[in-house]
């Protein structure tokens, strides 16, 4: 990875000076710092790990100039860009269990999603207000997918909260969001970790955070599989009217059984979540192979569920540890791409620019 960085040249991959900032320090002295981009991937509640990553990078002088995100990555990235990340962190820490979380899930059985999403949207609006992407102090983009065409949409204008909602609108769970004349859903369908968007917005170094690296680490091909002989099932007696009676008046139990599953059979929710996890994992691997980031941070959060928002403290800690493990490599990459100002010779123990080629 560092060998590729060394070959880019002092002023970025295209030879242009992008976002030159003289005198900014990243533990390197008074030199021009490369434009740093941060690509935050999707993962629902696992996105709290992004907070730990951001806090650790900033605490070590690695401040992103460009932030792009998909799904929960768009939420964390947008709140960071707007200076409202503390509010989101406090909300996560205030959740005591699934009961609190279920209070934000306005379930409905009509429309184009199981959840209306209005309660979550209201919470985001309270935190971020009517802030526009154009007015943010740093470059920000949210990635979404257009329903009918499959286009990858980069939201770089308009209200930040609308860009967030569109990016996390998981098909089947949340209803699509209308922005302009396009109906948009979760950006993880096309670009789960949006490295390409960060580069397009001018980043010279892209640090990516992938939250799904350890979910299906051992997925493979089963080359031979088939049905097994069915066990002999004893003939059950015909249920009496008395035994059937409670079923008629327990629709909530029936709904719960169908939604969450039971007796080894997956329910609707687990099938949808697992299917989306599999799809996101395969797309992420393909996209990162074709357009790899300069540095990849992979917190081990696969054991956390999509709705484990009440475990935010543990998730933030995982993100912090993952970022700490990557700090040395990130600092080295920044050092490689950071040219000394004109008229200042490199130190005796530092290689010259020509020696890095």
For the domain covering 39-217+252-261+268-337, report its CATH number. 3.40.1090.10
CA 210 to chain CA centroid, Å, is: 7
H helix or E strand, kind and range, residue 75: helix 72-81
Phi-psi region of 222 (alpha: psi -120 to 50; beta: other; left: phi over 0): beta
Residue 294 annotated in active site = no
Angstrom distances, CA of residue 33 to CA of 23, 39, 213, 344: 8, 18, 29, 15
Alpha-carbon gap, residue 30 to 340, rounded angstroms? 8
Contact between 289 and 281 (Cβ < 8 Å): no
Beta strands in the chain (DSSP E): 36-40, 66-70, 113-115, 139-146, 152-155, 172-174, 177-179, 182-186, 205-209, 261-262, 265-266, 295-297
> Pick from 300, 328, 278, 144: which is nearest to 209 by CA?
300
Report the alpha-carbon distance of residue 198 to residue 74 in Å, rounded. 12
Q: Which of 71, 142, 196, 212 is catalytic?
A: 71
Q: Is 186 a catalytic residue?
A: yes
Where in the chain are the domains?
39-217+252-261+268-337
**Residue 32: partners with Cβ closer than 8 Å, 6 or more residues away:** 20, 21, 22, 24, 338, 339, 341
User: Annotated catalytic residue: which of 65, 162, 186, 308?
Assistant: 186
Cα 136 to Cα 164: distance, rounded to the nearest angstrom: 14
pLDDT in tens, the chain (357 residues): 656 665 554 444 443 433 444 334 344 445 578 999 999 999 989 999 999 999 999 999 999 999 999 999 999 999 999 999 999 999 888 887 666 666 666 666 656 666 666 777 788 888 899 999 999 999 999 999 999 999 999 999 999 999 999 999 988 788 899 999 999 999 999 999 999 999 999 999 999 999 988 876 656 777 788 877 766 666 555 555 545 544 444 554 555 555 556 667 777 777 887 888 888 889 999 999 999 999 999 999 988 988 888 899 999 999 999 999 999 999 998 888 765 455 554 444 444 444 444
Nearest to residue 141, comparing CAs of 63, 195, 61, 83?
Answer: 195
């Amino acid at each position: 990875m560092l060998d590729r960085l060394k070959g880019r040249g002092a002023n970025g991959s295209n030879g242009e000076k992008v976002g030159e900032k003289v005198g900014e320090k990243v533990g390197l002295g008074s030199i021009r710092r490369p434009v740093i981009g941060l690509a935050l991937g999707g993962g629902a509640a696992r996105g709290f790990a992004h907070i730990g990553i951001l806090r650790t990078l900033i605490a070590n002088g690695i401040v992103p100039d460009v932030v792009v995100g998909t799904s929960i990555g768009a939420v964390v990235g947008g709140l960071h860009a707007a200076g409202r990340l503390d509010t989101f962190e406090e909300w996560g820490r205030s959740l005591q269990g699934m009961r609190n979380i279920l209070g934000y899930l306005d379930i409905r059985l009509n429309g184009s999603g199981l959840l209306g999403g209005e309660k979550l949207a209201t919470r985001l609006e309270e935190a971020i207000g009517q802030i526009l992407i154009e007015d943010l102090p740093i470059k920000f983009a949210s990635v979404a997918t257009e329903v009918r065409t499959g286009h990858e949409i980069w939201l770089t204008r308009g209200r930040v909260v609308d860009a967030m909602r569109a990016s996390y609108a998981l098909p089947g769970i949340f209803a699509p969001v209308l922005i302009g004349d396009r109906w948009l859903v979760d950006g993880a369908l096309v670009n789960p970790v949006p490295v390409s968007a960060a580069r397009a917005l001018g980043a010279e170094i892209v640090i990516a955070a992938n939250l799904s690296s350890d979910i299906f680490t051992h997925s493979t091909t089963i080359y031979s599989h088939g049905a097994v002989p069915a066990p002999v099932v004893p003939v059950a007696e015909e249920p009496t009217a008395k035994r059937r009676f409670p079923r008629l008046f327990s629709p909530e139990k029936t709904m719960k059984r169908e939604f969450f599953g039971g007796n080894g059979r997956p329910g609707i929710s687990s099938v949808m979540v697992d299917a989306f996890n599999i799809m996101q994992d395969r797309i992420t691997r393909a996209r990162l192979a074709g357009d790899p980031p300069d540095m990849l941070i992979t917190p081990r959060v696969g054991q956390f569920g999509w709705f484990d928002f009440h475990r935010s403290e543990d998730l933030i800690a995982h993100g912090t540890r993952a970022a700490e493990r990557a700090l040395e490599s990130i600092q080295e990459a920044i050092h490689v791409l950071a040219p000394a100002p004109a008229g200042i010779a490199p130190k005796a123990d530092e290689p010259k620019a020509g020696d890095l080629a």
